[in-house]
Amino acid sequence: EVQLVESGGGLVQPGGSLRLSCAVSGFTFSSYWMSWVRQAPGKGLEWVAKIKQDGSEKYYVDSVKGRFTISRDNAKNSLYLQMNSLRAEDTAVYSCARDWVGHCSGNNCYGAHDFWGQGTLVTVSS
Amino acid sequence: DIQMTQSPSSLSASVGDRVTITCRASQGISYHLAWYQQKPGKVPRLLIYAASTLQSGVPSRFSGSGSGTYFTLTISSLQPEDVATYYCQKFNSAPYTFGQGTQLEIK
């Protein structure tokens, strides 16, 4: 059974830091790109960042570039999100998600996030 | 960055109705479009990827179509359990932007 379990959320003051973790089981973690997605209370989904299987490529949404760092430890089947210089607008439930490729046609591969964790709440407030 | 715009933002329909939600990309994304269903307090569920491919286990009343900049999610016969918020997402290259969501209710 595929499981993604986040931890590390909590209350932090503006300007503070937090490190989120996502423990993965039930699939070969090192074979997949992984993403973080967040959802502010009562709001929609926002993709935050993704990381390649070996950690060599990382991408971020503009609003977190320079403040957040995604990383992974394939030996520990774990994904991380280091969040620095936190702002009130970063308040959200942060979920890890697997980037899955459904099928490829020619040079194009098509996929989506097929498994998600339940998320961990990050609240940025003084 | 490419923007994803869903319409309507909310929708009320009767059981058995045919329901269509649209998603527009600000630039062409070929068929790199996914649809998700999120029920209150639950994680999103993948319904469709590659614009029209139904994910395993998803009821056949759900279907997707479109390419380039215009996409639709259709529920052929609305069921009470379909009450949820639906999101589209571009999945060709980062950032994997989501639409703002469509909240679907039963009339």
Yes or no, beta carbons of B30 and A108 under 8 Å apart: yes
Q: Which residues 18-37 on chain A approach chain B with CB closer than 8 angstroms?
A: 35
Say if CB A58 and CB A49 are below 8 A apart. Answer: yes
The least confident of A81-95, A102-116, B26-40, B48-62 is A102-116
Tokens for A102, please give them.
């459904």
Structure tokens at A22: 């996502």
Q: Considering only residues 5 to 64 of chain B, which have any Cβ-Cβ distance to chain A shorter than 8 Å?
A: 30-32, 34, 36, 38, 43-44, 46, 49-50, 53, 55
Residue type, B73: L
Mean pLDDT score, B18-34: 97
Is the CB of B50 less than 8 angstroms away from the CB of A102? yes
- Looking at residue A42, its amino acid is G
* Residue-by-residue pLDDT tens, chain A, 126 positions: 999 999 999 999 999 999 999 999 999 999 999 999 999 999 999 999 999 999 999 999 999 999 999 999 999 999 999 999 999 999 999 999 999 999 898 889 999 999 999 999 999 999
3-state secondary structure of A62: helix
For residue B40, pLDDT over 90 is answered with yes
Residue A103 pLDDT: 87
Cα dist from B20 to A55, B40, B62, B63, B73, whole Å: 39, 21, 10, 10, 6
Q: What is the CA radius of gyration of chain B?
A: 13
pLDDT, averaged across chain B: 97
Residue of B nearest to A61 (CA): B95
- CB < 8 Å to A59, chain B: 94-95
DSSP for chain B? ---EEEE-SEEEE-TT--EEEEEEESS--TT-EEEEEE-TTS--EEEEETTTEEPTT--TTEEEEEETTEEEEEESS--GGG-EEEEEEE-SSSS-PBP--EEEEE-
**Average pLDDT rounded to a whole number, residues B47-59:** 97
What pLDDT, on the 0 to 100 scale, is given for residue B51?
97
Distance separating alpha carbons of residues A50 and B95, to the nearest angstrom: 9
Dihedral (C-alpha) A41, B71, B74, B105: value to the nearest 10 degrees?
A: 30
Which of A47, A110, A115 has the most B C-beta neighbours within 10 Å, making it the best mutation to test the interface with B?
A110
Residues with Cβ within 8 Å of A100's Cβ and at least 6 positions away in sequence, in order, are A32, A111, A112, A113, A114, A115
E strand or H helix at A13: none
